[in-house]
Structure 1
Amino acid sequence: MTESQATNANQANTEEGKLVITRTFNAPRELVFKVWTESEHLKHWWGPIGMELEVKKLDLRPGGIFHYSMTSPEGDQMWGKFIYQEIVAPEKLVFINAFADAEGNTIRPPFSSEFPLEILNIVTFIEHDGRTTLTLQGGPQQATPEEHAFYKGMFESMQQGFGGTFDQLDEYLAKI
């Protein structure tokens, strides 16, 4: 592990059934916010390691959508979307994340019929001495007790997944 990786290690907790991940990046807040909100940047880092991201649409406004596909090296494709609820540049993004089909309709993920249809995510960006601490908080929206329980059972997997995604973000920020 490099010094950069060690200082940027994920910190995670699971307060009140929400996934909370905090990560510090060696980049100013305006840049970190920009790479979260522009398609030409998102395609380079968003999603699981090894997946190729294609942005179908990005409309950054309350009620707007980020609709994308992810393709595995084997050619398997999944679709997802954000529906933006609140944007306070460069401090905060609030969006509902969901699996989607190619037309942007919300669907169940291919891996479970018990995963919640919608996850409300709040991402905050705080700068200190040219570095940005990002905190992501996510939890099910309008979910059944079974969906909440399934989501809680996925915390370790989601922490690993976001860890890889944020590693890609860290590498991308170092390049631009």
Structure 2
Amino acid sequence: MATTGSGGEPDHTTTDREIVLSRAIGAPRELVFEAFTQVRHLSQWWGPEGFTTTTRSFEFRVGGDWAFVMHGPDGTDYQEWITWTEIVPPERIALVHGEYRDDPNAFESVLTFELVGEKTRITMRTVFPTKELREEAVQKYHAIEGGEQTLGNLAAYVAELTWNETTPKGAED
């Protein structure tokens, strides 16, 4: 099964355990990367539409963790845990994401930030331990739609940051 990204084109290089999502964002690569490095940014955009995030702890460094709760629009709370395994500013972030530290069902993700003209193409490649866990994420948790929405939230957030940084005081009135 091929996974599709934002452009709708199949990615034939993926395996049956992967989800690959990609989006061009109209903001500098350094700013898009920074949106992942500080909890004050993440709390503004992380998650699918209608979700909010409460951080319990956050340390952005290799070996550091982000423990948080995603609050669904239906009131369901999802305990989440991310451990950063590689950080190469402003090009790449690798992480392990599960419900808790050492979750045997955790998946690995690599995010790349590619400068494309004046835009940044972010690509998220996620590999699940098994095909069954990937299918559960897609069917039960709507991982592809949720990932697309999360990237959309990121794009809107950094666009607002870029607009605020380039707009003279009083121009928004």
> What are the within-5 Å matches in structure 2 for residues 29-44 of structure 1?
29-44=29-44
Distance in 2 between the 1:163 and 1:149 partners?
21
Is residue 120 of structure 2 the alignment partner of residue 122 of structure 1? no
Report the CA distance shift for 1:13/1:152 in structure 2 as closer, same or farther (over 3 A).
farther
Distance in 2 between the 1:72 and 1:20 partners?
23
Distance in 2 between the 1:16 and 1:9 partners?
18
Structure 2 match to 1:21: 21
Identity within the alignment, %:
25
Distance in 2 between the 1:21 and 1:97 partners?
16
Matched-pair contact (CA < 8 Å) for 1:10–1:163: no
Structure 2 match to 1:96: 96
Distance in 2 between the 1:155 and 1:72 partners?
17
Q: Does the residue aligned with 1:93 lie in a helix, a strand or coil? A: strand
Distance in 2 between the 1:158 and 1:72 partners?
14
Q: TM-score, normalised by structure 1?
A: 0.77
1:15-46 CA distance string (max 9 Å, x none): 11211111110001000000011100000111
Q: Does the residue aligned with 1:37 lie in a helix, a strand or coil? A: coil
Unaligned 5+ runs, structure 1: 1-7, 108-115
- State the Cα RMSD in Å: 2.2
Tell me which amino acid in the other structure corresponds to 1:49.
E
Shift of 1:83: 0.5
Structure 2 match to 1:58: 58
Structure 2 match to 1:168: 153
> What are the within-5 Å matches in structure 2 for residues 141-160 of structure 1?
143=129, 147-152=130-135, 154-155=137-138, 157-160=142-145
Shift of 1:128: 2.1
Matched-pair contact (CA < 8 Å) for 1:48–1:165: yes
Matched-pair contact (CA < 8 Å) for 2:6–2:21: no
> What are the within-5 Å matches in structure 2 for residues 76-87 of structure 1?
76-87=76-87
Aligned residues: 152
Shift of 1:13: 3.5
